[in-house]
Amino acid sequence: MNIINVVLADDHVLVRDGIKALLEDQEGIHVIDEASNGLEALEVIKKNKPHLLIVDIRMPELNGIEVVKEINKRYSDVRTLVLSMHDSEEYVVKAIQAGADGYLLKGASKEEFLKALHKVASGGKYFTGDISAIIMNNFVNGNTTTTTVEEKSIEDPFNLTKREKQILNLVLQLKNNKDIAEELQISKRTAEVHRFNLMKKLDVKNLMELSNKAREFDLV
């Protein structure tokens, strides 16, 4: 069996540790190195020449999309799988335009994660079902107009994605994660991840604080 050498790039140690723990018992997969920011990721790739890079989008120095773009320029034989909590149109389209071979949400199951890893490492493409509609809209219909991460940070101080703003509106309507998942046609786990990330970005601990901050910064 051919060994799949993997490099992990994520600025959160707990995330990297979690992925390593998940892959430890998987035959034929070897995590050979890690990176905590975009520049470090490029250095690690240059040093190790892995088969696959699993990379987050939100990282210091260079973000994951910029890393993917550079890897496609310099090391076209290295496969790239974006693992992100963001399923917004802006991030998905930018990642694909940069040359990502796969895009998976951090709320995915272990089974889907391993399926995506093997598919991308073997030369295929894998895009989670939660973002298939975005791909269809932007690439089948030829609509590739996007807003960059930098532009979004100017528009609101919390850099909320389009999907996070949708979640915010639904949370303020007192909808639970199951209701949100059904309305947005995403998994319940994905809704939970978005909700957690939203509360973390706005630095609030409960619905009252969330509502007050949303009004204060005119987010809804």
Q: What is the mean pLDDT of each run of 10 residues along the chain (220 residues)?
A: 90 92 92 96 95 94 93 94 83 88 89 94 84 56 44 56 87 91 88 87 87 80
Say how many CA atoms lie within 13 Å of 176 toward its Cβ. 1
- Residue 101 has a pLDDT of 94
* φ, ψ at 19 (rounded to 5°): -65, -45
**Average model confidence (pLDDT) for the chain?**
85
Tokens, residue 177? 């994660």
Give, as one character, the DSSP assignment of residue 131.
G
- Residue 108 has a pLDDT of 85
- Residue 76 has a pLDDT of 87
Q: How many residues does the chain have?
A: 220
- Residue 88 has a pLDDT of 73
Residue 201: other Cβ atoms inside 10 A:
15
- Quote the CA–CA distance of 86 and 42 in Å, as a whole number: 22
- Residue 157 has a pLDDT of 72
